[in-house]
Structure 1
Amino acid sequence: MTALQSALDTASEEFAVAKEAMITKLGEVEAEYDKAIGGGGPDKVERHRKRGKMTARERIELLIDEDSAFLELCPLAAWGSDFQVGASLVIGIGVVSGVECLIVANDPTVKGGTSNPWTLKKSFRANEVAFQNRLPVISLVESGGADLPTQKEVFIPGGQMFRDLTRASALGIPTISLVFGNSTAGGAYIPGMSDHVVMIKEQSKVFLGGPPLVKMATGEESDDESLGGADMHARTSGLADYYALDEQDAIRIGRDIVSRLNWKKKGPEPKTEYAEPLYETEDLLGVVPSDLKIPFDPREVIARLVDGSEFDEFKPLYGSSLVTGWAQLHGYPVGILANARGILFSEESQKATQFIQLANRSNTPLLFLHNTTGYMVGREYEQNGIIKHGSMMINAVSNSKVPHISLLMGASYGAGHYGMCGRAYEPRFLFAWPSAKSAVMGPQQLAGVISLVMRAAAEAKGRPFDEEADKGMRAMVEAQIEAESLPMFLSGRLFDDGVIDPRDTRTILGLCLSAIHTNEVEGTANFGVFRM
């Protein structure tokens, strides 16, 4: 392969402006992330500690291998809603006893770890990651069950959590529950449906109904320990497979369980020797212009992500608005599709379709780097078949079986978002930089379309058009779309797996590729009908 030659001028004013804009946006993201880490607030965390308990993230830190990374997913879930940022749940991928596992931890400092609608969506995403990548699931349980005021949105769909656990077990994916406190009502079914269960002396409480509910339902007097304590479940009901003396002991037992799983990866191993990129990852802060209307060369990003900055470009002279080619990242082979000038034309669509087919032939994972305003419109392009060709690309993305990873760097608008493997097309992982935006189209374009439609409607009815009202409408719509296309808004709705620091991109992609290779990496020759 040929090493890419960077033309990025890190001393230029344009670079400095872009870098400053990115750093400002990163600060905003970090402030929201701090809210998730803060859980229910200092008083709730302090009360939790006084009970001799660790926080959810402290438990995870002790559970994973020393000095190993934890790839947290969807940390901004519920952002912009009435619920705590983070949705009272921590999910992510960590290495436990040498095995990559999907870890799910309730945050008991937020309403006792109860599940609200966003908690459900986040847990469903966690299970999806486990299924797709064949990752053992470790649940760190301390939950009061459903958030009762929102039960109408939690109860019926909530059954999927338990369905997923049992289906994981049926597929041979190990499920492990470490119970750190109350595991009440629906929360009781998490250990009940796990393969391995660890409970803690005088701390774990697992019951379908606590003493007050039992009293109401049956008139029976009971206490926590006799009804659902660890001692009872270890000696009498048999729900507890292991009996821990404290939280640290429970985590030790959990690590021992994983070490005895005899778990093997199914995907091919990476090359162990590879070179770091030739250029500084710090440069990624200034690659994306502060104004997304200004194009940038994605090769500058690729050169700072892939091993040795080596990139074997495919069809470099054809469909040049889309860069495609082969590389290696942390020893894993990848095929890369990256938007160069935003718009996807027929040539780019056909080029992408062929490239995706080739990746499936060679069982090579695909990385999509988004900066697209969508497929080209206009009479000439319609007559030349842009619908057919765009559909070919989307067909290829939809039916491709090799793992996909998507990264939103800049714009990701319209059907271009689909063709570049947006969330609806089930990439294994999807992350966004703080510079990213995604919507049906840009704010000005969307407001302009609405204005033209309203103007045409007024003319058709013979009514005068209110220019002042139109001006106000445009401003309102532009502000709305701008707010709704920002990465924190989209991340809050779990439309991505996290808004990340560009400097961390190579590391995060490496962690994702490693997790992906726990499962088989296999392509397909079976695509839908391509309209020619």
Structure 2
Amino acid sequence: MSSFESRWNPQSPAAQQRRAAMLERLQALRALEDRAAHASAKSLPVFERRGQLLPRQRVALLLDPGTPWLPLAALGGYLQDVKDPEKSVPGGGVVAGIGFVSGVRCMVVASDSGIEAGAIQPMGLDKILRVQEIALQNKLPFVHLVESAGANLMRYRVEGFVHGGTLFRNLARLSSAGIPVITVQHGSGTAGGAYMPGLSDIVILVEGRSRAFLAGPPLLKAATGEIATEEELGGAQMHATVSGLGEYLAQDDREAIGMAREVVARLGYPRAAPASAENAFAEPRLAADDLLGLISDDLRQPVDMREVIARLVDGSELLDFKALYGAATVCAQGFVGGHAVGFISNNGPIDVAGANKATHFIQWMCQRGQPIIYLQNTTGFMVGKDSEQGGMIKHGSKMIQAVTNATVPQITIQCGASFGAGNYGMCGRGYAPRFLFSWPSARTSVMGAEQAARTMQIVAEAAMVRKGLAADPEKSQAQYDRIVHMFETQADVAYTSGLLLDDGVIDPRDTRDVLRQCLDMCVQADAHTLQAMQFGVARM
């Protein structure tokens, strides 16, 4: 491998302008993510009166101090239920991420009970399903800090009820696969929420606070006329001494978290070396700060994605694969935190040569057993007469076949444009990459906004001609503006992340650290043999 010779001048006016735009965008996105924490913190006086910790305090106490924490889907739900950008609170009512508990890398999920008593929001359900999938793929113990009012009946949706069953199915799948499911029941778990502890391997209850019942007192009275207290139906004492739902009974949140840490410490799971640990590899020679200025807010401005790769790989050394063939598609090998990986990226549309080059490279990486990292920055597959006659459809399909059936872990970072079938060929969400993160500059769409608007304008004008009518310039322009606005709104990374089309928006400067954590997880998962069973651990 050779050391990459950068031609990028981070002090140039263009780079400084791009850097300022990226920082402004990043600040806006972080403010959105912080909105959920601020909203939850407003409940602090109530929690303190009850002798409880806020959800984020619980998570912080659970995690090993000073170790990496990888938050997941922090923008989930943004602009979905509440359409007003000023009022929409991201997060889906769930705090989720990957961190270290007693030296073991775990998936940690906490009900954000400071907001609407932890009621499960529609996108919150999808968020939990996604992190369960990540835990299953990467063999991560699943630690769930539960305090939820269940479904919000004022916003009831039948599809949410039906799809909610997948959450419990996944808990059973995790347990059956040999992945521990540990629940700390900090507060209520009603109806479906009661199956969270019911389908866990280990349950820790909190005296005077934990509640778990299929029907609470109001529903019980409405359904059967029977009158009973919450403690009789599902209190911590009752479940610890009578029903057997709980294995451990804590006096408060702090003791419960301490018990959870002890349970994890005794799992017999391999201790994972954090990504921040000192290892024998060289840091990139080129500064990560440069990544802020490489991608223009105007995605029509070109960038050599080798400049990005060189700021991610050990020693800024890379091996450029078929550099002179299909040059708009970049394929390169390198090391990230000592892990041998392949990169695929874009310096323009994917043409016939680029698709074939990428297909060859994917198969080569699969033969070598090396993970593939996709850095998306493409307007899609090449169009035009020459491209169509050259077999773009069949060659692009070969690339999609290779992406779909790759036998190594695939990780995607959406850096810039992710348009059209380029999203598919570059392992977008629909192709189930192991992890997918976005930069603030990412845009996702079937095509560019202006291209879509002009296409519809041409179609509308042709229809008017066929009818023998004269075109109305004002109506045509109004339609054009409306389509541009619609496409730009939905392409925005805050909107797509709100739909959980990624696993989170990251600071470009953190990309190498995020990749190191993900690659560490992939290696750890491959090395760890689970004690799978035909069924999950049943509660006795």
Q: Same fold (TM over 0.5)?
A: yes
Tell me if 1:37 matches 2:37: yes
Secondary structure of the equivalent of 1:312? Answer: strand
Tell me if 1:212 matches 2:212: no
Shift of 1:272: 3.2
5+ residue gaps, structure 1, are 523-532
Q: How does 1:203-352 map to 2 (within 5 A)?
A: 203-264=209-270, 272-340=279-347, 342-352=348-358
The one-letter amino acid paired with 1:489 is: Y
Shift of 1:82: 2.7
Secondary structure of the equivalent of 1:509? Answer: helix
1:97 corresponds in structure 2 to: 102
What CA distance in whole angstroms lies between the structure 1 residues aligned with 2:46 and 2:303?
50
Q: Which moved more, 1:374-383 or 1:215-224?
A: 215-224
Deviation readout 1:470-517 (Å, 9 max, x if unpaired) = 111111111111111010000000001111111111111111112222
1:387 corresponds in structure 2 to: 393
Of residues 491, 505, 512, the one that matches 1:506 is 512
Contact 2:103 2:271 in 1 (8 A): no
Shift of 1:63: 0.7
What CA distance in whole angstroms lies between the structure 2 residues aligned with 1:156 and 1:264?
37
Q: Across the two proteins, how many residue pairs are aligned to each other?
A: 519
Contact 2:105 2:271 in 1 (8 A): no
Q: How does 1:385-464 map to 2 (within 5 A)?
A: 385-464=391-470
Deviation readout 1:359-410 (Å, 9 max, x if unpaired) = 1111111100011000111111111111111111011001112111111111
What CA distance in whole angstroms lies between the structure 1 residues aligned with 2:245 and 2:391?
62
Q: How does 1:144-159 map to 2 (within 5 A)?
A: 144-151=149-156, 152-159=158-165
Of residues 126, 132, 135, the one that matches 2:137 is 132
What CA distance in whole angstroms lies between the structure 2 residues aligned with 1:416 and 1:45?
46
2:8 corresponds in structure 1 to: 8
1:24 corresponds in structure 2 to: 24
2:473 corresponds in structure 1 to: 467
Contact 1:274 1:330 in 2 (8 A): yes
Shift of 1:219: 2.8
Of residues 515, 524, 529, the one that matches 1:518 is 524
Secondary structure of the equivalent of 1:344? Answer: coil
Secondary structure of the equivalent of 2:11? Answer: coil
1:333/1:39 CA distance change after superposition, 3 Å: farther
Q: How does 1:30-179 map to 2 (within 5 A)?
A: 30-40=30-40, 42=42, 44-83=43-82, 84-151=89-156, 152-179=158-185
What CA distance in whole angstroms lies between the structure 1 residues aligned with 2:53 and 2:2?
50
The one-letter amino acid paired with 1:59 is: R
Contact 1:188 1:208 in 2 (8 A): yes
The one-letter amino acid paired with 1:11 is: Q
The one-letter amino acid paired with 1:26 is: L
Secondary structure of the equivalent of 1:103? Answer: strand
2:85 corresponds in structure 1 to: none
1:450/1:265 CA distance change after superposition, 3 Å: farther
Contact 1:271 1:331 in 2 (8 A): no
Shift of 1:10: 1.5
The one-letter amino acid paired with 1:309 is: S
Tell me if 1:488 matches 2:494: yes
Deviation readout 1:84-141 (Å, 9 max, x if unpaired) = 3111001111111121111111001111111121111111111111111111111100
1:271/1:247 CA distance change after superposition, 3 Å: closer
Secondary structure of the equivalent of 1:78? Answer: coil
What CA distance in whole angstroms lies between the structure 2 residues aligned with 1:57 and 1:515?
24
What CA distance in whole angstroms lies between the structure 1 residues aligned with 2:520 and 2:187?
33
What CA distance in whole angstroms lies between the structure 2 residues aligned with 1:139 and 1:41?
20
The one-letter amino acid paired with 2:492 is: L
What CA distance in whole angstroms lies between the structure 2 residues aligned with 1:65 and 1:288?
35
Q: Give me the identity figure in percent.
A: 43
Contact 1:266 1:519 in 2 (8 A): no
Shift of 1:453: 0.9
Contact 1:432 1:498 in 2 (8 A): yes
Deviation readout 1:228-277 (Å, 9 max, x if unpaired) = 1111111111110111121111111111111111124899x999311111
The one-letter amino acid paired with 1:33 is: E
What CA distance in whole angstroms lies between the structure 2 residues aligned with 1:104 and 1:149?
24
> How does the TM-score come out when normalised to structure 2?
0.93
Shift of 1:45: 3.5
Secondary structure of the equivalent of 1:202? Answer: coil
What CA distance in whole angstroms lies between the structure 2 residues aligned with 1:6 and 1:70?
32
Contact 1:17 1:290 in 2 (8 A): no
What CA distance in whole angstroms lies between the structure 2 residues aligned with 1:201 and 1:396?
54
Q: Which moved more, 1:77-86 or 1:379-388?
A: 77-86
Contact 1:447 1:478 in 2 (8 A): yes
5+ residue gaps, structure 2, are 83-88, 529-540
